[in-house]
Amino acid sequence: MALRIHDSKSSDATTRFTWHAREELLLASYATFSIRSDGRKVEEALHPYRGPFQRDRDRILHSAAFRRLSGKMQVFTGDMGDYHRTRLTHTNEVASLARTIGRYLQLNEDLIEALAMVHDIGHPPFGHCGEDALNECLKDHGGFSHNRFAMEIVERLEQRHTSMPGLNLSFDVLAGQQHRSNKQLLPGELTPTLEVQVVDAADSIAYDAHDVDDALKLGLISFQQLHRLSIVRRSLEHAGATNPHLPNERQFIVHALLDLQIDDLLETSNGQLSQLGDLDSQAVREIGLLLRMSATIESEKEELEEFLFENVYRHPQLMEVRHRAATRLRQMFHLLVAYPQRLPKRFQTFIQQDHSSELAVYRAVAQYLAGMTDRFCDDAYINLVELGRSQAEDW
């Protein structure tokens, strides 16, 4: 089980666990074991001390698209202060929650971390309104979805080697991200691995909780409104809020919301997983196991999401930002489709590689715009539309 390797700092050989031996010791049978990974499009030799999913995580971490998440809004824009989450800090919160859940359930944390870090990498500038604007621009050319764009980023746009496009991620990570594009299972399709399901759950738990925090801080919602929601009252009770001041402490409410949802998910999942015997990951997918929270928490969570939709995501202050961003993206889109020579060289090359078809132009323009951070998008608008300059800076 343990590998004896030479420690360069001493003359003695030191005993260390290999990544696969560590997984044999710590993971449950239903986890996705790195050693049984489905491999990569371009085969690579195994690394001596990093498992395949650790390497996936590192490739995502070092990609330009991942760094750009720091400049992309989650819900609130940069000119609304510096307290709230960006797409990057949201991603980090998802990864942290998902690893906590995964470790408890003895799943593969390395795979979970890679999946969490890549899950929002395809978001265009200005969140869902950016996505809606690009989707509308591409309505006759296949549409646009941030989940599909994530696949284009990791399979084509990021360049890690001169010999091949993309990050050459494992098929396990690609399949997990692909699942996000489909959302609903196609007839005959297996349920995703438990690691994918944990990241999906952590994403939803994270954004519901942190959107409450950010909206409170920005004064878009009040404690009084929140206390009317069943899940908030239950969370406070669950967290033992006997101190009369705590129910009106922003961060306490957020932690209470996280704890309640995660405790509930773990308890329900534990019940499901303890009945599996020694089924492996593939067998669990074949029986169609879906990790769930209890019906009570699921319905109370729905009530919270409806509240956030009405009172936060549709808030006039946000709607104005969204409207402006969508208008700018549409204007840039139509201008660049009419004058693709104003795109950076790299995207012009993509168009030539695809025989300069109309579809190739539309897709290249959408890829260029979708890769931008919010600030870069604003600057590009001034350069392209207001000043009539070409975009010299590459993606």
Stretch near Mg ion under the rule CB under 5 A, chosen from 202-210, 321-329, 347-355, 360-368: 202-210
Q: Using CA atoms, how far apart are residues 136 and 142, in angstroms rounded to an integer?
A: 10
Which residue's CB is nearer to Mg ion, number 110 or number 120? 120
Residues 270-289 that bind Mg ion (CB under 5 A): none
Stretch near Mg ion under the rule CB under 5 A, chosen from 158-166, 171-179, 199-207, 351-359: 199-207
Which residue's CB is nearer to Mg ion, number 34 or number 261? 261
Closest distance between Mg ion and the C-beta of residue 301, in Å? 16
Quick check: 237 and 184 in contact, CB under 8 A?
Answer: no
272 burial via Cβ count (<10 Å: 0-12, 13-18, 19+): middle
Which residue's CB is nearer to Mg ion, number 170 or number 177? 177
Closest distance between Mg ion and the C-beta of residue 7, in Å? 41
Which residue's CB is nearer to Mg ion, number 29 or number 100? 100
Quick check: 41 and 160 in contact, CB under 8 A?
Answer: no
Which residue's CB is nearer to Mg ion, number 120 or number 131? 120
Q: Which x/- pattern, by CB under 5 A, does the window 51-90 give for Mg ion?
A: ----------------------------------------
Closest distance between Mg ion and the C-beta of residue 108, in Å? 20
Quick check: 13 and 4 in contact, CB under 8 A?
Answer: yes
Which residue's CB is nearer to Mg ion, number 257 or number 380? 257
Secondary structure element (H or E) that encloses residue 6, with its range? strand 2-6
Which residue's CB is nearer to Mg ion, number 120 or number 378? 120
Q: Which x/- pattern, by CB under 5 A, does the window 297-316 give for Mg ion?
A: --------------------
Closest distance between Mg ion and the C-beta of residue 90, in Å? 6
Stretch near Mg ion under the rule CB under 5 A, chosen from 36-44, 153-161, 200-208, 386-394: 200-208
Which residue's CB is nearer to Mg ion, number 88 or number 289? 88
Among residues 203, 8, 3, the alpha carbon closest in space to that of 119 is found at: 203
Number of residues located near Mg ion, criterion CB under 5 A = 2
Phi, psi angles (nearest 5°) of residue 40:
-130, 160
Determine which residue in the list 203, 208, 214, 300 makes contact with Mg ion, applying CB under 5 A.
203
Residues 100-139 that bind Mg ion (CB under 5 A): 120
Q: Using CA atoms, how far apart are residues 197 and 176, in angstroms rounded to an integer?
A: 9
Q: Using CA atoms, how far apart are residues 67 and 48, in angstroms rounded to an integer?
A: 27
Closest distance between Mg ion and the C-beta of residue 167, in Å? 19
Closest distance between Mg ion and the C-beta of residue 128, in Å? 11
Among residues 317, 305, 312, 319, the alpha carbon closest in space to that of 129 is found at: 319
Which residue's CB is nearer to Mg ion, number 109 or number 203? 203
Quick check: 395 and 346 in contact, CB under 8 A?
Answer: yes
What is the radius of gyration, based on Cα positions, of the chain?
A: 23
Quick check: 101 and 221 in contact, CB under 8 A?
Answer: no
Residues 318-377 that bind Mg ion (CB under 5 A): none
Q: How many CB atoms lie within 10 A of CB 174?
A: 22
- The residue ranges that bind Mg ion (CB under 5 A) are 120, 203
